[in-house]
Amino acid sequence: MIEDWQNGGFGVYVHWPFCQAKCPYCDFNSHVVAKIDHESYKSAYLFEINKKSAAISGRSVTSVFFGGGTPSLMEPDTVRAILTALKERFSFSNKAEITLEANPTSVDYTRFQEFRDAGINRLSLGVQALNDNDLRALGRLHSVEEARKAWEIAQSCFDRVSIDLIYARQNQTLRDWEEELKQALNRGFSHLSLYQLTIEDGTAFGDRHRRGRLPGLPDEGLAADMYELTQSLTSSAGLLGYEISNHAKADEASRHNLIYWKSGDFLGIGPGAHGRITLNGQRMATENQRAPTVWLNEALNSGTVGTMAPVSARDHATEVLMMGLRLAEGVDLGRISLICPDLIDPQGMSDLRDQGLIEIVGDRLIATPRGRALLNSVLVALID
């Protein structure tokens, strides 16, 4: 019998917590500091990898993802050392996807070649907008021109390049977004991550929003129109909306992110990184200290990193459902009932079917396009 995590595979996430500037919408674990001791951080990453891989060494790795923060600000040598350490402990196939997130500024793109040489084969570029005013409003340090240069260099260095864009920005009209998205689609990217701007607590935007100082955000109707337009434009351009915010040509989906959505196992390395690792049949959740220096100290001086706690069957099944329904392919109902037989409310499921928000195809539960746009509400109704 296979273990549940094998439905999603296994990957490694490496978090680099530093940025040149903090973007006002970002609620990720990112920090701006004057000076970074790259050698110490490298040692800390290697220590954590060594420590956490012991119990699961020999597994086959589907993917490695350097996220952040701005991992394109890492020393390429650190990236290389991390990949070398991982390869010593796990088996890598030739097709293993090694992604790095990057910002399209000159500081970053002048090192793309070195990152490729260190082992990166996929780049995820945080372009965010294709007009300079909006880039400034989003607190980005690059211009559209720089972004264009960055993706051209990226496309010459890496097998695969994805760009991120944010829509539903302040004062953005449906027409504005249509123009912008068409421009992006004309560039022939094989993967696009298209996110609706979300105002999160604890961010500069969140603070401004609470004080009523963030005018011009679209209402729910316009946001829905933008989301639907995004789905139709990308699919006519041959990019399948395989996940709520992710669109890709055939076989170009992010294999690493699919591990999350299919609830596979993943090692979380670095400050604030979360992981899910199945040990002796029990799914465990790992979580690291968010503050970079605290994490660093722990790794270099205490001999252990982060915390680890079992995930209950119900929480595990909830995650499988919650993450899986984000995918166009949906989720295997048999898998969920194997983990937690009474998670799903049959009445809720039947109502949602009647409302055309979900469908059942074979043994798969799939959120319809309308249901995916309402996934948060759908999940509340679906879970008993």
**Contact positions with other proteins (CB under 8 A) in 291-330:** 315, 318-319, 322-323, 326
Nearer to other proteins by Cβ, of 227 and 295: the residue is 227
| Binding-site member from 198, 232, 235, 307 for other proteins (CB under 8 A) | 198
Is 231 near other proteins (CB under 8 A)? Answer: no
Is 227 near other proteins (CB under 8 A)? Answer: yes
Angle between helices 346-354 and 375-382 (to 10 degrees): 140
Q: Is the peptide bond before 69 cis (omega within 30 degrees of 0)?
A: yes
| Binding-site member from 49, 244, 305, 336 for other proteins (CB under 8 A) | 244
| Binding-site member from 82, 154, 299, 373 for other proteins (CB under 8 A) | 373
Contact 155, 119 (CB under 8 A): no
Nearer to other proteins by Cβ, of 129 and 153: the residue is 129
Is 349 near other proteins (CB under 8 A)? Answer: no
Q: Considering the complex, what minimum distance in angstroms separates the CB of residue 287 from other proteins?
A: 7
What does each C-alpha distance from 45 to 82, 89, 99, 244 come to in angstroms? Answer: 7, 14, 17, 32
Three-class DSSP category at 10: strand
Is 266 near other proteins (CB under 8 A)? Answer: yes
> Mind giving me the DSSP string for 97-113?
EEEEEE-SSHHHHTTHH
What's the CA gap between 242 and 114, in Å, rounded?
31
Q: E strands along the chain, which residues?
A: 10-16, 60-68, 91-102, 122-128, 160-167, 191-196, 240-243, 246-248, 265-269, 274-279, 282-287, 307-310, 331-332, 358-361, 364-367
Nearer to other proteins by Cβ, of 15 and 111: the residue is 15
Is 61 near other proteins (CB under 8 A)? Answer: no
Nearer to other proteins by Cβ, of 202 and 215: the residue is 202
Could you count the other beta carbons within 10 Å of the beta carbon of residue 140? 23
Contact 375, 326 (CB under 8 A): yes
Q: Considering the complex, what minimum distance in angstroms separates the CB of residue 32 from other proteins?
A: 20
User: Which residue do the tokens 């005018």 mark?
Assistant: 215
| Binding-site member from 274, 300, 329, 364 for other proteins (CB under 8 A) | 274
Is 357 near other proteins (CB under 8 A)? Answer: yes
Q: What angle do CA 36, 41, 45 make, to 5 degrees?
A: 155
| Binding-site member from 56, 185, 223, 240 for other proteins (CB under 8 A) | 223
Phi then psi dihedrals of residue 11, to 5 deg: -145, 175
What's the CA gap between 112 and 107, in Å, rounded?
10
Q: Considering the complex, what minimum distance in angstroms separates the CB of residue 191 from other proteins?
A: 15
Q: Considering the complex, what minimum distance in angstroms separates the CB of residue 379 from other proteins?
A: 6
| Binding-site member from 56, 195, 308, 364 for other proteins (CB under 8 A) | 195
Is 355 near other proteins (CB under 8 A)? Answer: yes
Is 287 near other proteins (CB under 8 A)? Answer: yes
Nearer to other proteins by Cβ, of 52 and 326: the residue is 326
Is 374 near other proteins (CB under 8 A)? Answer: yes
Which residues have a Cβ under 8 Å from the Cβ of 360 and sit 6 or more positions away? 333, 353, 366
The binding track of 14-53 with respect to other proteins, each residue x by CB under 8 A or -, is -x--------------------------------------
What does each C-alpha distance from 120 to 32, 113, 164, 379 come to in angstroms? Answer: 24, 9, 18, 36
Nearer to other proteins by Cβ, of 36 and 322: the residue is 322
Is 81 near other proteins (CB under 8 A)? Answer: no
User: By rule CB under 8 A, what count of residues binds other proteins?
Assistant: 47
Return residues touching other proteins (CB under 8 A).
Answer: 13, 15, 195-198, 220-221, 223-224, 227, 244-245, 257, 259-260, 266, 268, 272-276, 285, 287, 315, 318-319, 322-323, 326, 351-352, 355, 357, 370, 372-381, 383
